[in-house]
Amino acid sequence: MKIDQQKDKVFLLQQITNPAIHTDILSGTIPVLLKKIPTIFGNFCCNNAQLSFKNEVKNTEVGHLFEHLILENLKLETLKKENNADYIGETTWNWNLEKIGTYNITIFSPTKNKDIFYKACMKSIAILEEIYNYNSIPLAGAEINPRPAETATCTRLETQVLPYFYLRLLS
């Protein structure tokens, strides 16, 4: 995952290399979210079907789930130090132009604290990893099927965090 943090927004490019890129085949999604971050179910979600996030998360792209994980973790981290924490995000993808499993995530974040954003990302990655582990799905090296599901890549300042997650803060 590549991250470009600007004044009021952060752009993330998430590339999932595992074929499990959709929550409908990740049966651990709801149990892990209930255990690790139950407040996420209160997120507002703008989607074509006008579903609540609680319903949308049962059948959505992993990049979209990751966006909501970051938003909720940002909110929880910010509320430790401030009185309010409202964040908005957007996830887009075009697999006709980009590799399947590539997501473009924008987080509209007024925070200038990179540490809060980094903590939120790392917590989000850990939760996503637990969802994959719950399903005993390998996180890398699997073949991509017609309806694929994959994992993210992320590194902080070129430092590898996990073998399959790289988070790079670009200036």
* Residue 102: predicted pLDDT: 86
* Residue 169: predicted pLDDT: 37
What domain range includes position 16?
A: 2-170
| Residue 136, Ramachandran bin (φ over 0: left; ψ between -120 and 50: alpha; else beta) | left
**How many domains, in total, are found in the chain?**
1
- The two three-digit tokens of residue 150, written as one number: 């994959």
139 versus 170: the higher-pLDDT residue is 139
Whether residue 153 has pLDDT greater than 70: no
Rounded Cα distance between 10 and 165, Å, is: 17
Share of the chain above pLDDT 70, in %: 74
Mean pLDDT of 16-43: 91
* Residue 64: predicted pLDDT: 93
pTM: 0.78
Whether residue 107 has pLDDT greater than 70: yes
Per-residue confidence band for 1, with pLDDT thresholds at 50, 70 and 90: low
Rounded Cα distance between 60 and 40, Å, is: 15
3-state SS assignment for residue 168? strand
Whether residue 166 has pLDDT greater than 50: no
